[in-house]
């Protein structure tokens, strides 16, 4: 592991959505901690990084990734995937509990933590399972899991069908003020489906998942959260109705947060035409109307965070007829590039876009990161915003399951520090 | 995300057929060529020697991942009448559920120097997948994939319609029944629109209609009387028993009462309307015996034409490939 860094980063445009800072300045890291930010800092004997024309951002916080280990069928290791994340400016990864074994007991979470600390180039923040085995029947030991580092509790891609169980899970979590993460999807309405239900699914004859499968479950989660007082984070929203429901709940004073996958902001269901299994994801890519509503939701803050839903898969996982392929896109490598491209295309203001991948996800899930704070171990990245490069040139995830390999994206990351240590440095 | 489009998978550089995967987006000229070629094969079955030598020395493998006696038999007969060697393989789904296994199997079959795969599979897109991953030397014919496409069935239906109606201009065609699960209906809607039918109608309760089916070029009716009015062609679809347990319908008898084809119901159709069915029929469920055995029904002729249409599709794919190879040779010289 790298030692704590001493570094003077000079003349960068320092953008920190948490404090509203956006100015050209120098930033000094001493013994891994941010000690000063200001004009023309002087620090004799300290390594200097000339960052003129570059941006200095808080390290990105990815609010939804799936771990490669311990897990079956996914490509890579914690080491390979956190290395890919670091090269993309990400310092904190919130990991779903759908590992193997499931992160529903202390031993499993400790295993993840140990492997992460040993191998990781980014901080892995585990979510605990909301129910044992994600089976939706018995509550997991949430309080014990929180004691060893689980920041929130989720049932990952497995909907809790029994509303009574979900209500009790909310009540129990609320007892200890633990946040709950719900990825809304009605089990019966989505059963057997593999794409958005609409003209494309009808033309291809693929079983569809109606938008209603999600919005109905959003409504259920919102009502239960209101009744129980639990802190609710809705994950991976994909439909216009879901955005409208969250917006209305907020307007009525309910404290609820939400995120969206970056690919759902970029692609709609037409991407699966020709049975393109690289665009087979769960929840599915929705209609163009839904996609527009999601972008609007991010722009106005209804959707707090943008995540990668990183799911690195082996090549074989996508080598099958479409319905039999594994859903998922390997996402950490392109999270920043795709977010910045939304800004370049005028879809999102820069400040909001950066907030959505730094401070907002940290705030939603109680992650200590996503901002440039004095005295705290530095988690930051230095980015060349103007430089576009073919995605395939720097692809580090072990999963090559992405539709973006033939594209060029902006935002090359030159340097990443995670909790005071250098985790990525680009060749000059 | 660039993948070859179905067009380039199906057509050679000069626009000839090389695989037959879906009707969607094929040019009208190709569909007409299939029908015309089929016409030249229809009487082969009446000859004393029921064979033409167009596929002599070629090996056709029927790869059926989903059981089907009727379709497989007509493909087998079609290939044999073209003088091909035919191998039938019925493969249990479970043995190839992993993608790699399916790929391994393809490689093995290719090593036997097969020239054509006729594929049926329960997954939508499976035949498209095989066409993308098999060696380009093998022609792929779709014999039905999931709910996606059943293009040879649609073409034999088109042949039947043209035979009885002379053409497609001005025709109103009603497709009645389980549209949701029907690859036949999807392929028929495409074919009828490409061939210039005046109106393609689908008639079903809302539980059996796929989302946005109108986007394929079909007019939606939920009352049978409205859907049949002035129709020139009525196509009934088979209703599977498991639709009741999935809560899509209350019972077979209620379905028959509302959507079953009877002589009385057909009275509002055009007096010369023909009634078709891809078979096998459920008497008293989607069609009354009096209709199935009556003068409007052309169901058994569909079967006869089906062999000729499959011969046409197979021989056109092979000749399209020959032309492609010759062109490549000429260019190399």
Residue B94 pLDDT: 57
Query: Looking at residues B140-164, what average pLDDT do you find?
Result: 98
Quick check: B202 and B262 in contact, CB under 8 A? no
CA–CA distance, B14 with B330 (Å, rounded to integer): 14
Torsion angle defined by CA atoms of residues A68, A74, A79 and A83, in that order, rounded to the nearest 10 degrees:
-110
Please report residues of B whose CB lies closer than 8 A to that of A197.
211
Phi, psi for A289 (deg, rounded to 5): -65, -45
Q: What distance separates the 2 farthest-apart alpha carbons in chain B?
A: 68
In whole angstroms, what is the distance from residue A305 CA to residue A235 CA? 9
| Closest-approach residue (CA) in chain A for B6 | A274
Q: Quote the pLDDT of residue B2.
A: 43
Are residues B211 and A201, on separate chains, in Cβ contact within 8 Å?
yes
Q: Is the CB of B3 less than 8 angstroms away from the CB of A274?
A: yes
Residue B280 carries which DSSP code?
A: -
CB pairs under 8 A between A and B: 93
pLDDT at B100: 59
> Is the pLDDT assigned to residue B97 strictly greater than 60?
no
Considering only the beta carbons, identify the residue of B100, B129, B149 that sits closest to A321. B129
Residue B286 in contact with partner chain A when CB distance is under 8 A: no
In angstroms, what separates the C-alpha of A189 from chain B's closest C-alpha? Answer: 12
Whether cis (ω within 30° of 0) applies to the bond prior to A283 is yes
Token output for B202: 């689908």
A263: which 2 tokens? 């690919």
User: Which residue in A has a C-alpha nearest to residue B7's C-alpha?
Assistant: A274
Yes or no: say if B235 and B174 are a contact pair by the CB < 8 Å rule.
yes
Picking from B103, B183, B216, the nearest residue to A319 by CB comes out as B103
Q: How far is CA B69 from CA A347, A403, B279, in A?
A: 55, 40, 12
Instruction: Map residue B130 onto helix, strand or coil.
Output: helix
Residues of A within 8 A of B212 (CB-CB) are: 198-199, 202
Count of Cβ atoms closer than 10 Å to residue A187 Cβ? 14
Q: Is A195 exposed, middle or buried (0-12, 13-18, 19+ CB in 10 A)?
A: buried
Task: Report how far residue B277's alpha carbon sits from residue B286's, in angstroms, rounded to the nearest whole number.
Answer: 10
Residue B149 sits at the chain A interface (C-beta within 8 Å):
yes
- Cite the annotated binding site of B for L-aspartate by residue number: 98, 183, 238
Q: With an 8 Å Cβ cutoff, are A324 and B99 in contact?
A: yes
| Nearest C-alpha neighbor of B128 from the set A123, A112, A274 | A274
Which pLDDT value is given to residue B91? 85
pTM: predicted TM-score of the whole model, two decimal places: 0.94
| pLDDT surpasses 50 at B1 | no
Closest chain B residue to A273, measured at CA: B5
Q: Report how far residue A205's alpha carbon sits from residue B210's, in angstroms, rounded to the nearest whole number.
A: 9
Sign of CA dihedral A159, A193, A197, A272: positive
pLDDT of residue B333: 79
Tens digits of pLDDT across chain A (428 residues)? 788 999 999 999 999 999 999 999 999 999 999 999 999 999 999 999 999 999 999 999 999 999 998 888 899 999 999 999 999 999 999 999 999 999 999 999 999 999 888 888 999 999 999 999 999 999 999 999 999 999 999 999 999 999 999 999 999 999 999 999 999 999 999 999 999 999 999 999 999 999 999 999 999 999 999 999 999 999 999 999 999 999 999 999 999 999 999 999 999 999 999 999 999 999 999 999 999 999 999 999 999 999 999 999 999 899 899 999 999 999 999 999 999 999 999 999 999 999 999 999 999 999 999 999 999 999 999 999 989 999 999 999 999 999 999 999 999 999 999 999 999 999 86
**Both tokens of residue A234?**
């809705």
From the list B183, B186, B211, the residue facing A198 with the nearest CB is B211
**B6, B100, B211 member nearest A274 (Cβ):** B6
The predicted pLDDT at position B241 comes to 81
Any chain A CB within 8 A of the CB of B120? Answer: no
Phi-psi region of B130 (alpha: psi -120 to 50; beta: other; left: phi over 0): alpha
Q: Are A392 and A405 in contact (CB under 8 A)?
A: yes
pLDDT band at B67 (very low <50, low <70, confident <90, very high): confident
Q: Binding site for carbamoyl phosphate, residues of B?
A: 70-71, 120, 150, 153, 279-280
Cβ–Cβ contact B242 with A under 8 A: no
Distance CA B197, CA B233 (A): 11
Q: Which of A191, A195, A203 is the mutation pick for testing B, counting most B CBs within 10 A?
A: A203
Least CA distance to B189: which residue of chain A?
A203
Q: Do B145 and A322 lie within an 8 Å CB cutoff?
A: no
Selected for mutation to probe chain A from B6, B99, B133 (highest A CB count within 10 Å) is B99
SS (H, E, C) chain A: CCCCCCEEEEEEEEEECCCCEEEEEEEEEECCEEEEEECCCCCCCCEEEECCCCEEEECEEEEEECCCCCCCCECCCHHHHHHHHHHCCEEEEEECCCCCCCCCCHHHHHHHHHHHHHHCCCEEEECEECEHHHCCCCECCHHHHHHCCCCCEECCCCCCCCHHHHHHHHHHHHHCCCCEEECCCCHHHHCCCCEECCHHHHHHCCCEECCHHHHHHHHHHHHHHHHHCCCEEECCCCCHHHHHHHHHHHHCCCCEEEEEEHHHHHCCHHHHCCCCHHHCCCCCCCCHHHHHHHHHHHHCCCCCEEECCECCECHHHHCCCHHHCCCCECCHHHHHHHHHHHHHCCCCCHHHHHHHHCHHHHHHHCCCCCCCCCCCECCEEEEEEEEEEEHHHHCCCCCCCCCCCCCEEEEEEEEEEECCEEEEECCC
ipTM rounded to 2 decimals = 0.93
Residues A85 and B194: their CA atoms lie apart, in Å, by: 49
Q: Which chain B residues have a beta carbon less than 8 Å from that of A323?
A: 123-125, 146
Name which residue leads in pLDDT, B242 or A309.
Answer: A309
Given a cut of 70, whether residue B141 has pLDDT beyond it is: yes
Which is it for the CA torsion A333, A336, A338, A344, positive or negative? Answer: negative
């Amino acid at each position: 592991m790298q030692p704590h860094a001493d570094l003077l980063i000079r003349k960068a445009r320092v953008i920190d959505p948490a404090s509203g800072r956006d100015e050209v300045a120098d930033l000094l890291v001493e013994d891994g901690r941010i000690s000063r930010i200001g004009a023309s800092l002087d620090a004799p004997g300290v390594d200097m990084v000339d960052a003129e024309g570059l941006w200095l951002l808080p390290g990105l916080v990815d609010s939804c990734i799936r771990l490669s280990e311990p897990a079956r069928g996914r490509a890579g290791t914690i080491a390979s995937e956190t290395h890919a994340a670091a090269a993309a400016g990400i310092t904190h990864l919130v990991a779903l509990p759908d590992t193997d074994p499931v992160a529903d007991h202390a031993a499993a979470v400790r295993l993840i933590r140990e492997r992460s600390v040993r191998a990781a180039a980014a901080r892995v923040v585990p979510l605990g399972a909301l129910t044992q085995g994600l089976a939706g029947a018995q509550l997991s030991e949430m309080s014990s899991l929180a004691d060893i580092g689980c920041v929130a509790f989720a049932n990952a891609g497995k909907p809790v069908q029994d509303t009574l169980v979900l209500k009790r899970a909310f009540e129990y979590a609320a007892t200890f003020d633990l946040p709950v993460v719900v990825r809304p999807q009605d089990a019966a309405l989505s059963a057997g489906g593999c794409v958005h239900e609409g003209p494309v699914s009808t033309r291809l004859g693929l079983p569809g998942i109606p938008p209603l499968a999600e919005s109905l479950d959003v409504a259920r989660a919102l009502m239960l959260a209101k009744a129980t007082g639990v802190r609710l984070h809705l994950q991976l929203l994909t439909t216009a109705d879901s955005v409208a429901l969250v917006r209305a709940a907020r307007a009525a004073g309910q404290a609820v947060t939400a995120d969206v996958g970056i690919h759902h902001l970029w692609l709609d269901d037409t991407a699966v035409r020709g049975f393109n299994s690289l665009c087979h994801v769960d929840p599915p890519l929705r209609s163009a109307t839904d996609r527009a509503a999601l972008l609007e939701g991010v722009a106005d803050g209804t959707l707090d965070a943008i995540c990668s839903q990183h799911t690195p898969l082996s090549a074989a996982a996508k080598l099958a007829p479409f319905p039999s392929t594994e859903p998922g896109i390997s996402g950490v490598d392109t999270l920043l590039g795709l977010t910045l491209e939304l800004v370049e295309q005028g879809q999102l203001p820069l400040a909001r876009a950066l907030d959505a991948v730094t401070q907002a996800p940290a705030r939603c899930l109680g992650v200590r990161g996503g901002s440039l704070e004095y005295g705290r171990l530095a988690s930051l990245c230095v980015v060349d915003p103007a430089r576009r490069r073919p995605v395939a040139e720097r692809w580090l995830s072990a999963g090559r399951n992405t539709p973006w390999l033939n594209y060029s994206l902006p935002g090359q990351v030159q340097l990443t520090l995670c909790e005071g240590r250098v985790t990525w440095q680009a060749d000059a | 995300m660039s993948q070859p489009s179905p067009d380039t998978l199906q057509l050679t550089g000069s626009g000839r057929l090389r695989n037959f995967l879906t009707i969607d987006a094929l040019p009208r000229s190709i569909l007409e060529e299939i029908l015309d070629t089929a016409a030249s094969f229809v009487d082969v079955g009446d000859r004393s020697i029921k064979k033409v030598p167009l596929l002599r020395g070629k090996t056709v493998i029927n790869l059926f991942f989903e059981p089907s006696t009727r379709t497989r038999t007509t493909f087998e007969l079609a290939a044999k009448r073209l003088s091909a060697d035919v191998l039938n393989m019925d493969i249990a789904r479970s043995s190839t559920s992993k993608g790699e296994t399916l790929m391994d199997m393809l490689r093995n079959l290719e090593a036997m120097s097969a020239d054509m795969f006729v594929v049926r599979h329960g997954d939508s897109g499976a035949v498209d997948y095989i066409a993308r991953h098999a060696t380009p030397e093998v022609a792929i014919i779709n014999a039905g994939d999931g709910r996606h496409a059943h293009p040879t069935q649609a073409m034999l239906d088109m042949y039947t319609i043209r035979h009885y109606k002379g053409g497609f201009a001005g025709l109103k065609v009603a497709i009645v029944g389980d549209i949701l699960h029907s690859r036949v209906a999807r392929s028929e809607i495409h074919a009828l629109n490409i061939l210039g039918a005046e109106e393609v109608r689908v008639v079903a309760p809302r539980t059996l209609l796929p989302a946005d089916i109108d986007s394929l070029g079909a007019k939606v009716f939920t009352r049978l009387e409205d859907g049949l009015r002035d129709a020139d062609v009525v196509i009934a679809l088979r209703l599977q028993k498991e639709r009741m347990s999935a809560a899509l319908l209350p019972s077979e008898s209620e379905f028959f009462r509302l959507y079953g084809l009877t002589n009385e119901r057909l009275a509002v159709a055009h007096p010369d309307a023909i009634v078709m069915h891809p078979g096998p029929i459920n008497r008293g469920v989607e069609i009354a015996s009096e209709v199935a055995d009556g003068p409007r029904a052309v169901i058994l002729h569909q079967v006869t034409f089906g062999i000729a249409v499959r011969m046409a599709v197979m021989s056109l794919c092979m000749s399209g490939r020959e032309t492609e190879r010759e062109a490549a040779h000429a260019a190399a010289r």
